[in-house]
Amino acid sequence: MNMLSEKKNMEAEQVSSRNVSVGGLLVIFAMMIFGSYGLLVRFIQADAILLVWALQIVGVFCFFLYLLKNRSLFNRHGLFWHIFLMTVFVTISDLSFFMAIRATTVSTAVFVKFLMPIFVVLLTFRSSTISIRKLLFLVGLGTAGLFLILSSQGEISFTANIGIIAALITAFTLALFIITLKKITNVVPLPTILFYRYGIGSIILLPFIFSVGGIAQQINESWPWLLGFGLLYAVIGTFIHTQGLKLTKVQYGAILGYVEPVAAAAMSIAFLGETLTFPLVAGGLLILSGCILSLKK
């Protein structure tokens, strides 16, 4: 009996280990998809607001069909305002990130965006168990990294300044999004959250869409790219990432998330001809180090 029990335990451990490996590969693949954001934002000849709106429209349509099929379309949890705030934060984050990518280098925008975990620690300091010493250390790493990234720009133009400010806004609003999301994920299923996130986001952006010059022409010329953009990031990337996180440990999945800036930097070099200077790489590594340290208790 003991031998049989040990054999079953070994088989269970092997299955668990295999699942973790598969989960890790899925997370890495999803991060490579998200790392290609910058390429498509630069490539698709459409306004940033239109790109974000396409993301919302495709996302809400796909998750509407999914929830309709599973008969779980309506949110019965009474957390509408939490979902609304979360949507406002992530919509601002998406817009500012696209603006950052078009105003500065992709690598710079992505590295600055990854100040997000440090902002999360700062915003949740009172309710967390982190020490003041560790908090100051994380802020110091983030600040030093940002300073090095700024110094890597040489003589910073007005456009580059706007890009870095937009990336900082991305990091801050993304942190607010994560904090709000954590309050509802244990109550509301993720597909339902995503349906309302994309639905409310598309409504919020609708008045701005009509202010975009030549909107009809842009949609007519770029609709296949807009559709593909929405499917890739709102549906495919999100699905792969979610499935990967289900199969792996939370901290392991979070650390693998830092494949995204590496992938983004590699793609920007290979396809956009961007160069990585030593201060930019050093600054990016400091920020990512701070991110990884913020995961540890």
* pLDDT tens profile 76-118: 566 778 888 989 999 999 899 988 998 888 988 998 998 888 8
**Residue 38 resides in a domain:** yes
In a domain, 5, yes or no: no
pLDDT tops 80 at residue 151: no
Domain around 216? 17-295
Let me know if residue 167 belongs to a domain: yes
- Which two three-digit tokens encode residue 295? 């995961």
Sorting pLDDT into bands at 50, 70 and 90, what band is 138?
confident
Domain count, the chain: 1
Q: Is pTM beyond 0.85 here?
A: no
- Asked whether residue 155 is domain-assigned, the answer is yes
Tell whether 176 is covered by a domain.
yes
User: What CA–CA distances, in Å, run from 110 to 100, 106, 126, 157, 200?
Assistant: 9, 6, 28, 19, 26
Higher pLDDT, 229 or 215: 229
Q: What is the pLDDT of residue 92?
A: 93
- Indicate whether 12 belongs to any domain: no
Confidence of residue 226 (pLDDT cuts 50, 70, 90): very high
pLDDT(254) > 50: yes
The pLDDT value recorded for residue 58 is: 95
Residue position matching structure tokens 């607010």 = 176
First to last CA, the chain: 40
Statement: residue 181 has pLDDT above 70: yes
70 within domain boundaries? yes
The answer as to whether 64 is a domain residue is yes
Place 14 in a pLDDT band, splitting at 50, 70 and 90: very low
297 or 190: which leads in pLDDT: 190
Residues 60-68 have a mean pLDDT of 90
Q: How far from the centroid of its chain's Cα atoms is residue 285's Cα?
A: 18
Do 197 and 93 touch, CB atoms closer than 8 A?
no
- Residues of the chain with pLDDT > 70: what percent? 85
